[in-house]
Amino acid sequence: MIIITGAAGFIGSCLAGHMNRQGREDIVLVDDHSRPEKASNLSGKRFIVKMDRELFPHTLAAQADQIEAVLHIGARTDTTEQDVALLDRLNTTYSKQVWEFCTAFQIPLIYASSAATYGDGSKGYSDAPERTPGLEPLNPYGRSKQLFDEWVLQQEHSPPFWAGLKFFNVYGPNEYHKGRMASVIFHAFRQISETGQVKLFRSHKPEYADGYQLRDFIYVEDVVRVISWLMENRPASGIYNLGTGQARAFYDLAKATASAMNKELVVDWIDIPEDIRDTYQYFTEADMNKLRLAGYRDVFHSLEDGIGDYIQQYLIPGKYR
């Protein structure tokens, strides 16, 4: 039996579908299942039961010996959220409860951290454990993830295998419900469809040209493949970056989106909103050496290939993964 938290969300639902395609149906889908806008993400998925996040992990203690792994993807992922108590409860405290459950019953655990822990990037993007304590996230969401990573590295006892994955900019199907927090590709597709233009942020730093702010964009299909590989192969436990290792410009993203839609690229330049301007990341790029040295060999989708697949297979027909 496999437990997936955040199972009705973007990455969690894609992960459940990936497990189904691998022949796994012995899955418990943990989430806040009261949100109707996420229901379609689980349409057609095969599983044992849906469980409310408030009931996990305690109600499964009697069946702990049947659990092969816990894939803890659930979190409050809004990078503009300012309610520190909410983030502490959902991202830090809840994750500690999941860790303690997996430690007590010796269940392998893979959990979602975030590249938001790297802050402005001035301290680099190394996932080496000795570099983690000095990181300075720029927002409460990043700090909630950082606090848990730091706590994990201080624990004397742990699950038999664990991996914390620092997701960089993940995009792909099943993010229809995410609103403002959906990927830039999703928003670009909607904007081009509705107006013929795509909005891109002007740069507020002289060293970056407009539209040439850089991020490490990774297709969700690559993310779920890495999670599956970690669950099966169990290399050394630790925190791992999960990006492609190649930063790309937002202008490149917009160009690839328009191309996948067979449209001419027309850009509407806008200022970065003031509420995120001071915490906006101009450059992210995952150092992927640790995962590669652990033995992961698959090639990640290029930005153009990932966007092409996402738009043509999912966004244009309005399909879910």
pLDDT in tens, 243-282: 999 999 999 999 999 999 999 999 999 999 988 888 788 9
Question: Is residue 14 over pLDDT 90?
Answer: yes
- Token output for 264: 């001419």
What's the chain's average pLDDT? 96
Band of pLDDT at residue 81, cut at 50, 70 and 90: confident
The CA dihedral of 31, 35, 41, 45, to the nearest 10 degrees, is 60
Beta bridge partners of 165: 112, 240
Average pLDDT over residues 17-37: 96
Q: Give residue for tokens 């993807």.
A: 73
Tell me which residue of 250, 112, 78 sits closest to 180, measured CA to CA: 78
Question: Is residue 79 over pLDDT 90?
Answer: no
Question: Is residue 78 over pLDDT 90?
Answer: no
Average pLDDT over residues 203-226: 97
Average pLDDT over residues 18-33: 97
How many CA atoms lie within 13 Å of 149's alpha carbon, on the beta-carbon side? Answer: 32
Average pLDDT over residues 55-78: 95
Point out the residues that are catalytic. 141, 178
What is the pLDDT, as a whole number, of residue 166?
98
Band of pLDDT at residue 198, cut at 50, 70 and 90: very high
**Identity of the residue numbered 136:** E
Q: Cis before residue 273, ω within 30 degrees of 0?
A: no
Sign of the dihedral through C-alpha 276, 279, 282, 286: negative
What is the pLDDT, as a whole number, of residue 276?
82
Average pLDDT over residues 289-308: 98
Question: Is residue 26 over pLDDT 90?
Answer: yes
The rounded distance, in Å, linking the Cα atoms of 69 and 151 is 21
Percent of the chain residues topping a pLDDT of 90: 93
What is the pLDDT, as a whole number, of residue 126?
97
Question: Is residue 227 over pLDDT 90?
Answer: yes
What is the pLDDT, as a whole number, of residue 279?
79
Instruction: Sort residue 262 into left (φ over 0), alpha (ψ -120 to 50) or beta.
Output: left
The CA dihedral of 180, 202, 302, 229, to the nearest 10 degrees, is -40
- Token output for 42: 């689980």
Tell me which residue of 180, 219, 215, 225 sits closest to 77, measured CA to CA: 180
Structural element, H or E, at residue 109: strand 109-114
The rounded distance, in Å, linking the Cα atoms of 60 and 53 is 12
What is the pLDDT, as a whole number, of residue 193?
97
The rounded distance, in Å, linking the Cα atoms of 99 and 121 is 28
